[in-house]
Amino acid sequence: MGAVGGARVGSLAVISSIGELWDKVFGAQPDPPPWLVLVTGVIALTVVLTRTPWRVGRNAITIAHEGGHALAAVLTGRRLQGIRLHSDTSGLTLSAGRPTGPGMVFTLLAGYLAPSLIGLAGAWLLGGNRITLLLWIAVALLVAMLVMVRNAYGMISLGATAGLVFSVSWFAPPEVQAAFAYAGVWFLLIGGVRPVGELQSMRRGGRMPQSDADQLAWVTHLPALLWVAVFGLVNLFVLVVGAGLLAGPFLNGSRPIF
pLDDT tens-digit series, residues 227-249: 999 999 999 999 999 999 998 76
Burial 42-62 (b: 16+ CB within 10 A, else e): ebbeebbeeeeebeebbbbbb
Neighbours of 112 (CB within 10 A): 27
Cα separation, 258 vs 256, whole angstroms: 5
pLDDT at 5: 58
pLDDT at 207: 86
Cα separation, 81 vs 74, whole angstroms: 10
Residues 107 and 66: beta-carbon distance below 8 Å = no
pLDDT at 13: 52
pLDDT tens-digit series, residues 173-214: 999 999 999 999 999 999 999 999 999 999 998 888 899 999
